[in-house]
């Protein structure tokens, strides 16, 4: 293990967890990732291995059967997993977002029911906010929840659900018109239990997951739509038990997700650097290894600096969230920097590989197709810059 992307101040337990995950990644993920990715095959054996390691309960409190670890531990674990195969980190990401939302905002009954099953990996979560025509304007959601007695009837179409087919619990944001005049107070999060699989759901009448969306990268993990036609959900499955708080609950979850995407960017970039510096010491041109050419050394130096900078920014954002403080500024910065640097480091590693980087026999080809997803996942670079810019104006506003 090289000196890049080290984290100061970790406990012995955190170091042990990371060592275990790193060993799992090296032995169980990296050797099979490219083959599974090319087949677009769900990594069932890898997921079962993570379940046995207790990773699905990593951040869930011990009282509910989890490990009770911090967001920082989670982010560092995600970084290691993404270093092996980014799609696997996506499988745990939405699960952790939903678990965080239930733990932070759920009723005691919801915590008691869902969290132990989520910690054991028996229930796995998906997160549903986006819609086909929505983009970044969350206030424009059209999926509707209408109160009918002690239930709500949901109608609409959601988009870009990671784990949409394989999950058994989906946190779905709907418009409910119960919170007030602001559109942000008229959204509610519903917790919908379903059976894993595609097509009409056998246990939730009216709910359909049509099938996997074909993607250029980020394969293996299923990305889907979700169609709701007169889906009836009991009122006790409103997250927190009170309608109208969905937007704020989702944004809290998205902050966790942005740290996750930053961690994924760090992991993919680190793997690209490892591949690039290894190949540079094997390939010879003009009578010497290409690593001895100054142009390649400059490129490796730039790549390593970006890997290190992104990692430290990600760690800062996670620690800020763990402290209980508002971290939208730090999470936005970390997600923006890590995703952009990941794209650049992967491309530089691709260039170092020369023509072989274009071959599917080399791992860098897969990373080159995966990196672009990080530029748009959990909010585009432009959205992150808007968030950061607004927060900076709040912090540095001059007196008039």
What are the structure tokens assigned to 264, written together?
Answer: 């994924």
Q: Are strands 151-162 and 144-148 parallel, antiparallel or unpaired?
A: antiparallel
Q: Which parts of 43-143 are beta strand (E)?
A: 125-128
Asked if 193 is an active-site residue, the reply is: no
Report pTM. Answer: 0.93
Q: Is the pLDDT of residue 178 over 90?
A: no
pLDDT of residue 258: 85
Please report which confidence band the pLDDT of residue 217 belongs to, taking 50, 70 and 90 as the band edges.
Answer: very high
Select which of 378, 382, 394, 400 is catalytic: 378
Structure-token match 């400059």, residue found? 298
Q: Is the pLDDT of residue 400 over 80?
A: no
CB atoms inside a 10 Å sphere around CB 28: 18
Q: Are strands 207-209 and 223-234 parallel, antiparallel or unpaired?
A: antiparallel
> What is the average pLDDT across 237-256?
91
Please report which confidence band the pLDDT of residue 75 belongs to, taking 50, 70 and 90 as the band edges.
Answer: very high
> What is the average pLDDT across 355-363?
94
pLDDT of residue 382: 85
- Residue 148 Cα to chain centre, angstroms: 34
- How do residues 336-353 score in pLDDT, each as one tens digit? 999 999 999 999 999 999
pLDDT of residue 179: 66
What are the structure tokens assigned to 233, written together?
Answer: 């959900």
pLDDT of residue 183: 77
DSSP annotation string for 310-361: HHHHHHHHHHHHHTTS--HHHHHHHHHHHHHHHHHHHHHHHHHHGGGGGSTT
- How do residues 140-171 score in pLDDT, each as one tens digit? 899 999 999 999 999 999 999 999 999 999 99
Query: Which sign, positive or negative, has the C-alpha torsion 277, 5, 91, 384?
Result: negative
- Residue 361 Cα to chain centre, angstroms: 27
Please report which confidence band the pLDDT of residue 52 belongs to, taking 50, 70 and 90 as the band edges.
Answer: very high
Q: What would you report as the CA-atom Rg of the chain, rounded to the nearest whole angstrom? A: 21
Report the percent of the chain where pLDDT is more than 70.
99
Separation in Å, CA 34 to CA 29, 66, 277? 9, 31, 19
- How do residues 267-314 score in pLDDT, each as one tens digit? 999 999 999 999 999 999 999 999 999 999 999 999 999 999 999 999
CB atoms inside a 10 Å sphere around CB 72: 23
Buried-exposed string 243-260: b where 16+ CB fall within 10 A, e elsewhere = bbbbbebbebbbbbbbbb
Please list, in sequence order, all residues whose beta carbon lies within 8 angstroms of the beta carbon of residue 98, skipping any fewer than 6 positions away. 118, 125, 126, 127, 169, 170, 171, 253
> What is the average pLDDT across 96-124?
96
Q: Range with the lowest mean pLDDT among 79-93, 127-141, 381-395?
A: 127-141
Q: Is the pLDDT of residue 2 over 80?
A: no
Show the CA angle centred on residue 371, arms to residues 30 and 307, nearest 5°: 80
pLDDT of residue 13: 95
Please report which confidence band the pLDDT of residue 1 belongs to, taking 50, 70 and 90 as the band edges.
Answer: low
Mean pLDDT of the chain: 93
Cβ proximity of 82 and 266 under 8 Å: yes
- How do residues 16-33 score in pLDDT, each as one tens digit? 999 999 999 999 999 999
> What is the average pLDDT across 200-214?
95
Q: Is the pLDDT of residue 224 over 80?
A: yes
What are the structure tokens assigned to 155, written together?
Answer: 């109608």
CA distance 337 to 279: 26
Show the CA angle centred on residue 251, arms to residues 397 and 239, nearest 5°: 140
């Amino acid at each position: 293990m090289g000196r890049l992307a080290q984290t100061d101040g970790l406990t012995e337990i955190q170091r042990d967890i990371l060592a275990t995950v790193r060993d799992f990644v090296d032995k169980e993920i990296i050797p099979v990732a490219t083959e599974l990715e090319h087949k677009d095959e769900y990594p069932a054996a890898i997921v079962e291995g993570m379940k046995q390691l207790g990773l699905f309960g990593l951040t869930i409190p011990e009282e509910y059967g989890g490990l009770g670890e911090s967001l920082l531990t989670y982010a560092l674990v995600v970084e290691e997993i993404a270093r092996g195969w980014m799609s696997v980190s996506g499988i745990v990401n939405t699960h952790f977002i939903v678990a965080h939302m239930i733990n932070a905002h759920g009723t005691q009954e919801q915590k008691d029911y869902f969290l132990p099953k989520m910690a054991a990996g028996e229930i796995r979560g998906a997160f549903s906010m986006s819609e086909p025509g929505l983009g970044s304007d969350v206030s424009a959601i059209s999926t509707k929840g209408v109160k009918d007695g002690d239930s709500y009837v949901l109608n609409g179409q959601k988009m870009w659900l990671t784990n949409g087919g394989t999950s058994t619990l989906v946190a779905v944001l709907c418009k409910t018109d119960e919170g007030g005049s602001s559109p942000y107070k008229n959204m509610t999060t519903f917790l919908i239990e379903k059976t894993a699989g595609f097509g009409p759901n056998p246990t939730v009448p009216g709910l359909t997951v049509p099938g996997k969306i074909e993607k250029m990268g980020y394969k293996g993990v299923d990305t889907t739509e979700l169609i709701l036609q007169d889906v009836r959900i009991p009122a006790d499955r409103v997250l927190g038990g009170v309608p109208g708080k969905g937007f704020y609950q989702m944004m809290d979850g998205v902050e966790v997700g942005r740290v996750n995407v930053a961690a994924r960017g760090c992991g993919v970039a680190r793997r690209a650097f490892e591949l690039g510096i290894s190949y540079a010491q094997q390939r010879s041109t003009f009578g010497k290894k290409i690593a001895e050419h100054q142009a390649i050394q400059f490129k490796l130096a730039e790549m390593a600096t970006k890997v290190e900078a992104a990692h430290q920014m990600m760690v800062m954002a996670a620690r800020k969230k763990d402290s209980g403080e508002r971290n939208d500024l730090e999470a936005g910065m970390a997600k923006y920097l890590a995703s952009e640097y990941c794209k650049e480091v992967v491309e530089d590693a691709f260039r170092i590989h020369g023509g072989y980087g274009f071959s599917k026999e080399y791992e860098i080809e897969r990373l080159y197709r995966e990196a672009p997803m990080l530029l748009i996942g959990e909010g585009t670079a432009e959205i992150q810059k808007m968030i950061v810019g607004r927060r900076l104006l709040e912090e540095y506003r001059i007196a008039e």
